[in-house]
Amino acid sequence: MTTLVVVRKGNMAAIAADSLTTFGDTRLSDSFDASSDKMVRYGDNVIALCGSAAHQLVYENLLSTAKDLNFNSKSEIFETFRKLHSILKDQHFLNPKEEDEDAYESTHITALIANPTGIYGIYSMREVFEFKRFWAAGSGREYALGAMNALYDQLDSTEAIARVGVEAGATFDKNSSLPLQVVTVAMNPRPTVAS
């Protein structure tokens, strides 16, 4: 699948992804893939995708034509993906079926988001999480989480922490590989609470 990470520290965030695409047992590495980028951009938002290889083109197209999408909070991300779900079904032929017992239709997407307001994760049933320090997604996530947890307090740079996470995933997960791509984002200052 992949290794995706997102990190926040101080006034900076970083989001990173490996570059391997897999089709069953076949690996399409960066040296063969002319477009191995797993991130899409929408304004100040950087969105790293994992799941079906089709997601990249679908979301590039969707975000290039969509208007007034908002990724600035947990509730706004939920609302954005709720709206996108019907567009994915109607215009991109998304098959929303996963398991018979699922409570909701699936978007079949797992994504991490970095923007000036925070770092977030979105999952197939439109579950949205906001993270305080870091998170990872994809098949290499456990290795990435362990590496970032071990070094988060020792490293000052969000880019360095993100690189450590993806490199760990690429080292130990058979479905992740280098090179990696990393993007940094300047964060808005957090509001101060009056005492």
pLDDT one-digit tens code per residue, 149-168: 999 999 999 999 999 999 99
> Considering the entire predicted model, what is its pTM?
0.92
Q: Is the pLDDT of residue 172 over 70?
A: yes
Q: What is the pLDDT of residues 117-133, one digit of tens each?
A: 999 999 988 899 999 99
Specify the 3-state DSSP secondary structure of 76.
helix
Average pLDDT over residues 181-187: 97
* pLDDT at position 115: 98
- Edge-first strand order for the sheet with 4-9 is 134-137, 4-9, 12-17, 181-186
Q: How far is CA 53 from CA 1, 22, 24, 75, in A?
A: 9, 8, 11, 27
CA proximity to 144, closest of 4, 9, 1? 4
pLDDT tier at 141 (50, 70, 90 boundaries)? very high
Q: Is the pLDDT of residue 192 over 70?
A: no
Number of neighbouring beta carbons within 10 Å of residue 59: 21
* pLDDT at position 24: 86
Q: What is the Cα–Cα distance from 133 to 68, expressed in whole angstroms?
A: 28
Classify the phi-psi angles of 45: left when phi > 0, otherwise alpha if psi is within -120 to 50, otherwise beta: beta
* pLDDT at position 98: 73
Q: What is the pLDDT of residues 102-121, one digit of tens each?
A: 677 777 789 999 999 999 99
Q: What is the Cα–Cα distance from 80 to 158, expressed in whole angstroms?
A: 27
Q: What is the pLDDT of residues 35-48, one digit of tens each?
A: 899 999 999 999 99
Q: Are strands 21-23 and 45-51 parallel, antiparallel or unpaired?
A: unpaired
Q: Is the pLDDT of residue 12 over 70?
A: yes
* pLDDT at position 193: 66
* pLDDT at position 194: 65
pLDDT tier at 73 (50, 70, 90 boundaries)? very high
Encoding tokens for residue 70? 């908002």
* pLDDT at position 89: 78
